[in-house]
Structure 1
């Protein structure tokens, strides 16, 4: 009995330590930093790629540390002589998800605290800010502008003016080889007069590259190197032995199809080769397969959702997954319905709820299901569950964020964000 008791106590202790380690506060453990730090905030991987280039230009890992802002707290800035911040702007001028906690803590510092208190001596910090943004949005590089100002307010010394870059013109994409993929199948997933939603399948004669659920592909319309690349969520995993995309055909006010979506869903012929570039998106990687996973999306957001379900299907003893998915109307050919049903029967998908925004009897959106199921959402996510949201930022993405914050309560919502359990692939 004594041996059994000791064994149980040790097992409990190791389990407790593992939970504490997984959910420790970011930056709580002392991190040995080089005199120069490159810190990045990235929603889709562009800032991370550019930050890695900055690190190499500064002498590599031997001379410069690199950290996402999600793993940095302001007091750690007292350990370095210079910090180079490479940050994207997300949504309506916001920080990316992996920079929100750091920026909130930075805003809460006062100049006196920063200069004299335990939070760090920002008056001895030299810094630069490289801001990435999309010049088609009115608040171009707004987070970079705000971060630059906050650091100056706290006494840090800028060694260069704020650098702004249009995300489409950065060197990050050009540093990766474009690979040729052949379009082998195109299937419309919806019916009726609404813009088509298409499942596209591609294969390649080259060695199949490695990618993760949550990653993206960049595509230049009509293989035109001068065109601005569009990014799409990857809907498959390497185990599928093909690359899949789910693309909504965009239509402008004149009824003309979008330059890239129209090409992919209509103009490109079967068998045509299309150049693509896989883009890592670590913010949307989910490695804790045993943790509960709430998937929320609408329309072409099914792409990222399908990728995560396919990845979980490859794991033994994966945790429960719950999908809340939205479309405009019910059609005879529901998006990938047969595959979703198969995953339900296999236990990969525990629960599936659909919201039809144009249903004549019960119109609703995915955020309505989250709000109506607030108690269940809270229990399901608990203290260790992950949430992945894929689809449009305006409308669905913002509304889901509000519903989640209400369902969880602000404290649990902030904890989920700080622990990297909230993944948003929104466009």
Structure 2
């Protein structure tokens, strides 16, 4: 539920994002343009070389000026892409029969299109094209770090469209933004994915770049001296898609995690095994875990262990845990569901 009090711009933007998750046009411009801060791209590192899946990157950002701002584990970074894929701009102008250097209102068509949504149909004239342009929408990412790390980290999967061009947000962050260059970003609190009060242990479930928000929670927990959490992480291949195996090993060594597991697509029976353990949910993802409402944010299911009828799903997933923990001893099961 999104609560709106008067002209609450943040609430309006969350409402718009949730409508998009339910099927509304995802590239609709923001109802109310937000004020973005200037950040710099400090580092971009490929995490899964040799993977059969799309490239996944660790993207680290720092404020262009001033101190590091505050946020909590679970909060969201809203990124305004700085440009479209030049190949997509060229293909669209070619389909319209228009030259990239044709000027309208003192700017070339290529410049107009670089920071605007590219229409989904050809136009007949340069003037008609410029009149039809709408601003680029923002993209949301779970923050994978805490302020004490000295950078705001994102885990971003590079999305490739069917025509070979790169996705709007992922293409900007993983390819087109220059190292040391500017990135427009704003922070948004996401209270629904903050850690529960009381410092109790968490079960953290995610796959792929969905590790981002879970990493934020584990880093925050470690900084606060809390541990004993569980991490269930899935990807295609252990050899190429573990993403940050050294960090997971470190959390296991220092007690931040007491158990962790990863599985690949080779385990084809996972869904069948889990579906025999869970009460029938309204909707499940591919491996049988109950999912949140369709959203790009994550959700915490408090006291969910009480709903399990048998521990066999957890015993399978963790290679030998004997029983589910005592009801109430673990505060939440967190599932990270990310739309790239």
TM-score higher than 0.5 here?
Answer: yes
Give the equivalent residue in structure 1 for 2:285: 395
CA contact (8 A) 1:236 1:307 kept: yes
Give the equivalent residue in structure 2 for 1:128: none
> Which structure has more helix as a fraction of its residues?
1
Q: CA RMSD in A?
A: 4.0
Which of 231, 237, 242 is matched with 2:140 structurally?
231
Give the equivalent residue in structure 2 for 1:279: 188
Q: Secondary structure at the match of 1:169?
A: coil
In the aligned structure 1, how far is the partner of 2:272 from the partner of 2:71?
33
CA contact (8 A) 2:277 2:308 kept: no
Give the equivalent residue in structure 2 for 1:409: 307
Q: Secondary structure at the match of 1:350?
A: strand
Higher relative contact order (CA 8 A, sep 6+): 2
Which of 126, 134, 137 is matched with 2:19 structurally?
134
Question: Given the alignment of the two structures, is residue 195 of structure 1 paired with residue 49 of structure 2, yes or no?
Answer: no
Deviations 1:239-275 (A, max 9, x none): 1111000000112222322121012111222111101
In the aligned structure 2, how far is the partner of 1:343 from the partner of 1:369?
28
Question: Given the alignment of the two structures, is residue 179 of structure 1 paired with residue 42 of structure 2, yes or no?
Answer: no
The structural deviation recorded for 1:327 is: 0.9
CA contact (8 A) 2:208 2:241 kept: no
Give the equivalent residue in structure 2 for 1:347: 255
Change (3 A) 1:421 1:235: same
Which of 244, 262, 266 is matched with 2:171 structurally?
262
In the aligned structure 2, how far is the partner of 1:229 from the partner of 1:87?
10
Give the equivalent residue in structure 1 for 2:74: 214
Query: Normalised by the size of structure 1, how large is the TM-score?
Result: 0.51
Q: Secondary structure at the match of 1:195?
A: coil
In the aligned structure 2, how far is the partner of 1:294 from the partner of 1:287?
12
In the aligned structure 1, how far is the partner of 2:217 from the partner of 2:256?
11
Give the equivalent residue in structure 2 for 1:97: none
Which of 322, 343, 350 is matched with 2:230 structurally?
322
Query: How many positions carry a matched residue from both structures?
Result: 254
Structure ID, larger Rg: 1
Question: Given the alignment of the two structures, is residue 243 of structure 1 paired with residue 152 of structure 2, yes or no?
Answer: yes
Query: Normalised by the size of structure 2, how large is the TM-score?
Result: 0.63
In the aligned structure 1, how far is the partner of 2:202 from the partner of 2:304?
18
CA contact (8 A) 1:289 1:312 kept: no
Which of 220, 233, 239 is matched with 1:311 structurally?
220
Structure 1 stretch displaced more, 329-338 or 236-245? 329-338
Gaps of 5+ in 1: 1-40, 42-46, 57-84, 90-130, 142-165, 375-392
Change (3 A) 1:286 1:168: farther
In the aligned structure 2, how far is the partner of 1:371 from the partner of 1:136?
25
Gaps of 5+ in 2: 84-114, 117-134, 293-300, 310-326
